[in-house]
Amino acid sequence: MSGAVVHVVDDDEQMRVALARLLRAEGYEVRSYESAGHFLLTPPDGRPGCVLLDLHLPGPSGLDLQQALQQHAIALPIVFLTGRGDIASSVRAMKAGAVDFLTKPVDPHTLLVAVDTALARDRSRRASLEHVQDFASRLARLSGRERSVFDQVVIGKLNKQIGDTLGISERTVKMHRAQVMAKMEVASIAELVHAAEILRSVGAPRSNDA
């Protein structure tokens, strides 16, 4: 948990102070901002965390800020807080990836659960982000032929089929396959398929020569 920061954005000073106080008491590190602008003016330091965001803010609203963060590829999970729940806004917020949409007055426990969820999501995002980077760098180590074999393997082709497709012998396929497994640092075909899934999800190139 250490190192994570909860960013509280609320124009209402009483609310802002109370939220910060609650989160600090629960052991979180908190930074408060009175408007979307103030938040954006603070340079992101890349630390893990989440945003506790009031939907209605003077000037740009919470939803505006959510959009801006996405555009700036700042993927901090957002928990929305609002004094008046209107369905349209909550749907928009959730579609745009908000972790939760809480209505004030919010029960401290509910709030903490939402913050924890957001932080966990941030962690797992960061973790999967690291995975992707690992797999990507490993993938980069594959030779052209190995990469072709990798692509065929992860879509479930048999060695013989791969050999026919690539015009190489089944034996050669087996050799490349072992090389791929070693380079990708996986122990089973299942792991290899998982790595391929992750890479695909972040849009890694399917094949160097495809």
Cα–Cα distance between 122 and 99 in angstroms, integer? 10
Cα–Cα distance between 154 and 146 in angstroms, integer? 12
Tell whether residue 97 is a contact of other proteins (CB under 8 A): no
DSSP 72-121: TT----EEEEESS--HHHHHHHHHTT-SEEEESS--HHHHHHHHHHHHHH
Tell whether residue 88 is a contact of other proteins (CB under 8 A): no
Binding mask 40-79 for other proteins (x = CB under 8 A): ----------------x-x---------------------
Which residue among 26, 29, 34, 134 contacts other proteins (CB under 8 A)? 26
Nearest to 114 by CA among 122, 165, 153: 122
Closest CB to other proteins among residues 4, 196: 4
Tokens of 82: 């609002």
Report whether 147 contacts 109 (CB < 8 A).
no
Binding mask 100-139 for other proteins (x = CB under 8 A): ---xxxxxxx-xx---------------------------
Tell whether residue 95 is a contact of other proteins (CB under 8 A): no
Q: Which residues bind other proteins (CB under 8 A)?
A: 12, 14-15, 17-19, 21-22, 24-27, 56, 58, 81-84, 86, 103-109, 111-112
